[in-house]
Amino acid sequence: MFKAVSAKQIPRHIAIIMDGNGRWALARKMPRTAGHRQGVEALREIIEASVKLRIAHLTLFAFSTENWKRPESEVKALMSLMVEFLQKELSELHKNNIKINMLGRIQGLPQDAALEIQKSMEVTKNNKGLQVNIAINYGSRAEIVQAVKKITHDICKNRLSPDDINEDLFSRYLETAGIPDPDLLIRTGGEYRLSNFLLYQSAYTELLFTDRQVLWPDFTSRRFLEAILEYQNRIRRFGGIDV
């Protein structure tokens, strides 16, 4: 199926809201944590497919600023799984020239999670292949507010004039500075919303929502390729018209 994907129209940047782990587990009368663990297996498969397709950026919504509202036991399990994944996979990720990047606030994360993320970023910082952006303790509204604060600070310090502010400059103050906007955003699990994820960056992103039967642990590389094929069959006008 990889051959069916046009190499000339590969999205540079794909963002994914990995939704449905808990529902996947409950449907099988298993604890929600089992769904998160199965979701890690899906993640591994999608990263491998992204490398094969030579995608430049893969951004994964791993944990939002709102997810702290979940039961403490589930939050701990999610953080432990992320630490386990990075510890087990870092060597392989590094060998495959993958760069790990974080979006979100590292402050407030459990110490072991923060240290593992920092280690992964340091080890892979010079890699030139797929960049995996892990959005953890991330919220887009908070990101935008923080960008406004930084711009205001630089104006007060006479580093900027209000007349300097435009879309390009504002983008440089976001956590995604230097990363192209997503071409394609996929959400699994049948929910049709962005849930405070990359709101500014997704202005012209192609959105693809799976139905409720396709939960994140069921999102195989085949479904990933099908999503890319659908993207390649769309016409992106960016406010213009077909010529």
**Residue 1 is assigned to a structural domain of this protein:** no
67 is catalytic: yes
Walking along the chain (243 residues) 10 residues at a time, the average pLDDT comes out as 72 97 96 94 96 97 95 93 95 97 95 96 98 98 98 97 97 97 98 97 98 96 96 83 61
Beta strands in the chain (DSSP E): 13-17, 57-64, 99-103, 131-138, 184-187, 206-209
Angular region, 95: left φ>0, alpha ψ -120 to 50, beta rest: alpha
* 232 contact partners, CB below 8 Å, separation of at least 6: 5, 6, 9
In a domain, 41, yes or no: yes
The whole-angstrom distance between residue 199's C-alpha and the CA centroid of its chain comes to 12
Instruction: Determine whether 196 is an active site residue.
Output: no
Is 174 part of a structural domain of the chain? no
Predicted pLDDT of residue 105: 95
Q: Give exposure, 99-137, as e/b (b: 16+ Cβ within 10 Å).
A: bbbbbbbeeebeeebbebbeebbebbeebebbbbbbbbb
Number of domains in the chain: 1
Provide the pLDDT for residue 235: 80
Q: What are phi and psi of 23, to 5 degrees?
A: -65, -35
> Which of 95, 132, 96, 128 is closest to 117 using CA atoms?
132
| CATH number of the structural domain spanning residue 225 | 3.40.1180.10
Predicted local distance difference test score (pLDDT) of residue 1 = 59
Domain that holds residue 69: 9-138+181-232
pLDDT of residue 237: 78
| C-alpha dihedral (206, 126, 37, 213), degrees to nearest 10 | 10
DSSP class of residue 189 equals S
For residue 134, the cross-strand partners are 60, 102
pLDDT of residue 94: 97
Pairing of strands 184-187, 206-209: parallel
Tokens of 134: 């892990």
Candidates 67, 96, 127, 196; catalytic one: 67
20 CB-near residues (< 8 Å, 6+ apart): 35, 188, 189, 190, 214, 215, 216, 217, 218
Evaluate whether residue 238 is within a structural domain: no
Please report the pLDDT score of residue 239 as a whole number.
75
Q: Which one from 19, 101, 137, 183 is the annotated catalytic residue?
A: 19
The answer to whether residue 66 is domain-embedded is yes
Q: What is the pTM of this model?
A: 0.94
Cα–Cα nearest to 183, from 132, 236, 145? 236
